[in-house]
Structure 1
């Protein structure tokens, strides 16, 4: 029976990836408990496990004293010297007390304890494997769902996608594959718990890293991201090298790179804007796709007043204020949007020839023609 236990430990280490030392410690503790329980002993004992010989031996540990008051824990000096004349007072002597049928009894008693420790060790292995994946994107398969969570199989464990982390425009069906961001990994009494998200801004960043080699390699930097998941996002990017177009890198040839991300996020609109340390330029870029006439900056309040053409006021503000709201979150600046007419009335800008929608269109056509002849 002893040799079979050691074989089982070797198997568990190879197949489950559980450290053999952890299992041997668990087995030793279980054998001590089994001995004390089955042989009604309160003696201080030690178990010696010999893997090579495939044996288990139990030793009673006793302190050498002049006068014995507790025979289970103490032994007289005279008796000890009969075993070894070199023993002295306060030495610890070990006497083998292994019962003949101990292997069978110990195996039965240890089974439950070892099984529990194995389960704990397995949980530890899983926790350590996934703890390093926080803020990473993983692909999983939906296993089941209830009123609170969608449960996604990530390989060795089932992760929880809470309702607040789901995309409002997305339906989740059993066996669907989807990419998720690992937001938190906890080691609880019930085992490792992994929480994931489809709505977190970090998911968008990781997707861009996966699709845009320039971001993954650090040639293009992601400066800021803001999302209203399932509807619209804005991301600002920057390239220290002036020869590199950060926005173009993210868009890709014929929009292939950003299109792949949009498809993964079920049609979520993504505005990619170039970051600038100049708030005038940055805020103007962030309000894309609207045209900006002028940006008035209040450095002390970290606020801006943005003037846009009258016909683009609604575009700049966006549906239910979304464009302005996302731009403010992206830049970290307060943004107050005013039409050109309103800014003139309030004396915020000087009188000048207004830009009409027709003139903007004509300018765009002229620029396209010039590009053809360059």
Structure 2
């Protein structure tokens, strides 16, 4: 058994497994083997001598009264009468647990083969658990790999290190096509464990988090937490809106994200097949935030209603010539603004233009100033 343990330890080291977990897997293998070849109802314990690397397998036997019913039937071997127990241990009492050692090798070649299969099984489970923990920690992070297969449904299989990842068609940006050999980046949405196929990952290029992580890669201020992405909304491949803020007055969150001549935001847009990305400054004031989210439209007023248990609504008043900008092509601007803010937005169109509205506001202020000068504050 010593040689087998050395081989298993060597394999565990090659795979970078935790030695303590390897020992637990080996002990479990011995216990399961004993249950298979001796009796599945018996209780066993196993430990490993770190110096000799030998395994000690012991059966736990409960001491009972000589006339106890447990001493009859198939499970009788799990119990021992008090008289027999006193011959082994003169201090034994009813309810004590004695230990009987077993040697797996003494049960023949079939027992050895069973042990070998059990060790292989538990080491493999250990490897898979290590991989699962490793990649589960990568959920909502970007990974890259090479395309190995594209099936008839356009689901893309990507090889990432030791495991297989799948980018479903529904999670692919509209118009994208991949072929074998392409290098693809995507975000990890979930990690699966399947008894037949092992561990696999599901990827996405359409999730808002993918845009957020791409921005973190391109914008150091976001990666360092100086600029924070509060919310993000996407219609993949077409347009996106992101709400940004910073607690540092000297930093312009929009300018930092866009970069000089748009170099940072354009790099992200290129990765997303030309997706147009609008950056707006987040505000804790719903009215101000909604007004900014409706950009490029110029808004006159916003009134929000937030009744408990009801849908949050916002009525946006704007000049007639701003309505088309507010709605956007095929309604994309107002949809994204609603997704970003969490409000159902209704437009209230008023006559005149944005320029006329601004002029009216200035005239109103001038009139108020004249009255204040005439009558005092």
Normalised to the residue count of structure 2, the TM-score between the two structures is 0.77
CA distance in 1, matches of 2:98, 2:287: 84
User: Structure 1 residue 167: deviation in Å?
Assistant: 1.0
**Deviation by residue 1:167-210 (Cα, 9 ceiling, x = unmatched):** 11211222222221222234454544422211111111111122
**Deviation by residue 1:78-106 (Cα, 9 ceiling, x = unmatched):** 66666555556665554555477557554
Task: Determine helix, strand or coil for the equivalent of 1:13.
Answer: helix
CA distance in 2, matches of 1:108, 1:28: 12
User: Structure 1 residue 49: deviation in Å?
Assistant: 4.5
| Structure 2 partner of 1:115 | 120
Count of matched residue positions in the alignment of Structure 1 and Structure 2: 343
Distance 1:243 1:309, change over 3 A: farther
The one of 322, 325, 331 aligned to 2:341: 331
Residue 165 (1) aligns with residue 171 (2): yes
User: Structure 1 residue 314: deviation in Å?
Assistant: 2.9
| Structure 2 partner of 1:204 | 211
| Structure 2 partner of 1:361 | none
Distance 1:308 1:109, change over 3 A: same
Moved more, 297-306 or 118-127: 297-306
Contact preservation (8 Å) 2:286, 2:304: no
Residue 9 (1) aligns with residue 8 (2): yes
Contact preservation (8 Å) 2:208, 2:234: yes
Contact preservation (8 Å) 2:305, 2:313: yes
Distance 1:115 1:272, change over 3 A: same
Moved more, 161-170 or 256-265: 161-170
User: Structure 1 residue 140: deviation in Å?
Assistant: 2.5
| Structure 2 partner of 1:216 | 223
| Structure 1 partner of 2:257 | 250
Distance 1:105 1:275, change over 3 A: same
- Give unmatched runs, 5+ long, in structure 2: 307-311, 360-377
Contact preservation (8 Å) 1:304, 1:333: no
Contact preservation (8 Å) 2:64, 2:79: yes
Residue 135 (1) aligns with residue 134 (2): no
User: Structure 1 residue 108: deviation in Å?
Assistant: 1.4
User: Structure 1 residue 234: deviation in Å?
Assistant: 0.9
Task: Determine helix, strand or coil for the equivalent of 1:134.
Answer: coil
| Structure 2 partner of 1:318 | 328
Distance 1:72 1:266, change over 3 A: same
| Structure 1 partner of 2:28 | 26
CA distance in 2, matches of 1:58, 1:279: 68
Contact preservation (8 Å) 2:238, 2:276: yes
Contact preservation (8 Å) 1:306, 1:335: no
User: Structure 1 residue 15: deviation in Å?
Assistant: 1.9
Task: Determine helix, strand or coil for the equivalent of 1:6.
Answer: helix
| Structure 1 partner of 2:364 | none
Distance 1:108 1:355, change over 3 A: same
Moved more, 231-240 or 95-104: 95-104
CA RMSD of aligned residues (A): 3.5
Residue 175 (1) aligns with residue 181 (2): yes
CA distance in 1, matches of 2:174, 2:354: 46
Task: Determine helix, strand or coil for the equivalent of 1:256.
Answer: helix
Normalised to the residue count of structure 1, the TM-score between the two structures is 0.77
User: Structure 1 residue 293: deviation in Å?
Assistant: 5.5
| Structure 2 partner of 1:285 | 292
User: Structure 1 residue 299: deviation in Å?
Assistant: 4.4
1:341-356 to 2 correspondence within 5 Å?
Answer: 343-344=350-351, 353=356
- Give unmatched runs, 5+ long, in structure 1: 357-374
Task: Determine helix, strand or coil for the equivalent of 1:219.
Answer: coil
CA distance in 2, matches of 1:208, 1:92: 63
Contact preservation (8 Å) 1:6, 1:51: no
Residue 307 (1) aligns with residue 309 (2): no
Contact preservation (8 Å) 1:328, 1:334: yes
Moved more, 156-165 or 46-55: 46-55
Task: Determine helix, strand or coil for the equivalent of 1:173.
Answer: coil
